[in-house]
Structure 1
């Protein structure tokens, strides 16, 4: 070609959730007998959840409607009636909201909205990301800025709540930051931020004159007694906010590709108002978003059977979360926080557990050679090494924590597997693989053996193990 069209900044775009499927496909060509358990992606359909009959009926009714309007274009910012419904729906949760339908922007999946929001930032300006982060956010932001992302730490020892001191330090050090991204409920950790945490984040946004971007696509998926505090209430008349929500997670229709952005408090800052208009104009270039899901969106959430559906769905997912937590928490090499929202968890390896001397036995010679060639590539993280060995030996497909811009080594799993028997088998196999992998390094295995013997002896001294033999803990 006359000039090279390749953009080297593509290296800033990472989406291992899908990229790992390429690795799977190569494994299966080498070993066609390898059966894969996909625990990497949040697709309820693929994990056995049926589409509710009421949703199918709504789709059929709309596609059969006289005039076939749903097959044509809709308004470039989204179906007007649906945008008006979104305003009313938002105010049910946030009564103080001053949102109007002109500040609703419907996009073809939330990913399209995320991309537009970052690409319309003025050159050089940044949105600080959580770490770990959802790769679409961190990648799109860094690609638009042409620099690595700037992030604040989430703390696993505090239920994955943000490290507010770290966030403030980053805001002080980086005057180009104009916004703070909040993903709540959180993907990839399953955390739900406390009211106190959100109040502190609003305080920081106000103090440093930043907007907030709150990705809340899982906001209906909260477990137990956990509170989901409405940030639009906390930040009312204080700071500009973009709230991101969508269809496909609480209703099993991920192929619908229907998300939306809500621009709140635009009256507070003329620059934010202009920025919001620029994002709308960017989406205008796509003509319109997918018509069908927009047309029936209000009918889905207002349907008399929706509440029963979501209750059943959350009950099943809550069981899964408890079971995964129970199984993996028994592993001495992992730290596990149960999900409070969404359908993801991120167990992490304890400090010093992973080395570059560990492996799992791969019987297929061609597969072994392929895996060994992959892990010898420059920049392969220690948790990705484990994920590759796990895939090749068990067929369990998970995503390394490092692929979520994480400072911690571990892995993200989805909690969607519907079969209880299958779920238990997957996670018991995974836990056993963790132990075998870690203890394949003989030095670590010896230290672990001594540690467990010492713990058992200490328990015996304090009378906490009754008649259990020390050897039972080894």
Structure 2
């Protein structure tokens, strides 16, 4: 072509969570053995049953002609009024329905949050970082992500001194991104940590992007957790929420942003207007899931349903901690929220470390898929597909220099969960000790 049509940030777009599924599917075909899918946060795929009362609400809505029509660009007014009332009932910052915009899933919202920033404006995010955020932010800028460290030796809490220094000395940073509860670590940042991050944003005149898709999935120290709306005070912010993990209905692709303090900051208000204008070009977001949100979230059984789910994830978190707690060679913090767990190798990995793959066809195929300069944890994760038929995600793909992997707490079958996690622990020991054998 007479000119390069590739976007300057194209090389920064990476979503290993889905990429590895293609490799895992081929391993499953070659081996004839079922794969344990621990790579993606889909509760339904892992066997979670949607209650009949939720299905009844959706079934009734499907019979109404209006759910097949366009909705307003911001979203259905009834639903936005319901969500604004829920936010205001918590205390803290107050919003109106005009401060809420619906999107076709949070991926749609995240894309617009970053791509509609001025190109020189950067948003610093956590490391490890959820790929949708880090890739979209880096893709917008055309440069690698700017991050602050989450410390596995301190329950994955953010390094606030590092965050402050990076903000202070990098004037291109215009915003701070927070995921709370966190993906991929399962950490829940307490009020005092969020208050300090808000204070940094206020001091340096930044805005905050808070991904709160898991805000009702906190099962440890919930009394010390608060959504950003309760702590933001006068700082401009965007909170990202949705129904994919909580109801759960990931296939609905329905999320929304709540905007805080936009009227007090003309530049921020103009930025939010650009997001709305971009959404207007798409006309609207899907009508059906918006329609049922007030009826599902406001249902008498909804809170008990969430309590039951959190008890399940707490039980899974505790058991995962027990299994990995007996596994030398890794750092594991049992999740306090969401449904992800990140395992970190605590010693240097070497090229000699291997998992034994009995199937020759599978081994040959995987060797062709692992680049010669692949990160050590990527080698482990790919070999895990062939050796144990378990699909996880390498931690290095989450914008971190830590090596490890992310898995989930979603498996509903107790025996399968026990088998998967025991096999993971055994694989860690085999991998780590294989390097010692090779060195002898």
The verdict on a shared fold, with TM-score over 0.5 as the criterion, is yes
Match of residue 233 from structure 1:
230
Shift in Å, 1:158: 1.2
Match of residue 9 from structure 1:
9
Deviations 1:166-217 (A, max 9, x none): 1011112210111000000000000010111111101100111100111101
8 Å contact kept, 1:9–1:143: yes
Shift in Å, 1:10: 2.1
Other structure's SS at 1:331 match: coil
Match of residue 120 from structure 1:
116
| Partner residue of 1:371 out of 345, 366, 373 | 366
Deviations 1:218-267 (A, max 9, x none): 00001133332232222212x10111111111112110111011110113
Shift in Å, 1:4: 5.2
Task: Please give the alpha-carbon distance, in whole angstroms, between the structure 2 residues aligned to 1:96 and 1:440.
Answer: 54
Task: Please give the alpha-carbon distance, in whole angstroms, between the structure 1 residues aligned to 2:430 and 2:419.
Answer: 16
8 Å contact kept, 1:438–1:444: no
Other structure's SS at 1:28 match: helix
Match of residue 427 from structure 1:
421
Other structure's SS at 1:393 match: helix
Larger Rg: 1
| Partner residue of 1:173 out of 165, 169, 173 | 169
Other structure's SS at 1:278 match: helix
Shift in Å, 1:90: 0.8
8 Å contact kept, 1:50–1:252: no
Other structure's SS at 1:439 match: helix
Deviations 1:387-442 (A, max 9, x none): 01111111100001001112211111110000111100001011101101111113
Task: Please give the alpha-carbon distance, in whole angstroms, between the structure 2 residues aligned to 1:444 and 1:327.
Answer: 27
5 Å matches for 1:295-314? 295-314=291-310
Task: Please give the alpha-carbon distance, in whole angstroms, between the structure 2 residues aligned to 1:8 and 1:26.
Answer: 32
Shift in Å, 1:3: 4.9
5 Å matches for 1:1-400? 3=3, 5-7=5-7, 9-29=9-29, 31-65=30-64, 68-93=65-90, 95-226=91-222, 227-237=224-234, 239-352=235-348, 354-378=349-373, 380-400=374-394
Shift in Å, 1:443: 5.3
TM-score, reference length from structure 2 = 0.97
Deviations 1:305-357 (A, max 9, x none): 112211221111111111111101110011110111100010100122x1111
Task: Please give the alpha-carbon distance, in whole angstroms, between the structure 2 residues aligned to 1:3 and 1:26.
Answer: 37
Other structure's SS at 1:106 match: strand
Shift in Å, 1:371: 2.0
Other structure's SS at 1:154 match: strand
Q: Which moved more, 1:308-317 or 1:385-394?
A: 308-317
Match of residue 450 from structure 1:
none
Other structure's SS at 1:346 match: strand
Task: Please give the alpha-carbon distance, in whole angstroms, between the structure 2 residues aligned to 1:282 and 1:413.
Answer: 35
Task: Please give the alpha-carbon distance, in whole angstroms, between the structure 2 residues aligned to 1:118 and 1:398.
Answer: 27
Instruction: Please tell me the root mean square deviation across aligned C-alpha atoms, in Å.
Output: 1.5
Task: Please give the alpha-carbon distance, in whole angstroms, between the structure 2 residues aligned to 1:141 and 1:308.
Answer: 37
Deviations 1:110-169 (A, max 9, x none): 110110110110121101111001100000001011111100001111111110011011
Q: How many residues align?
A: 439
How has the CA–CA distance of structure 1 residues 309 and 261 changed in structure 2, closer, same or farther, with 3 Å as cutoff? Answer: same
Q: Which moved more, 1:5-14 or 1:217-226?
A: 5-14
Other structure's SS at 1:128 match: strand
Other structure's SS at 1:412 match: strand
Task: Please give the alpha-carbon distance, in whole angstroms, between the structure 1 residues aligned to 2:200 and 2:418.
Answer: 43
Deviations 1:78-114 (A, max 9, x none): 1111111111011122x23221111100101011011
Q: Which runs of 5+ in 1 are unaligned?
A: 447-474
8 Å contact kept, 1:118–1:144: yes
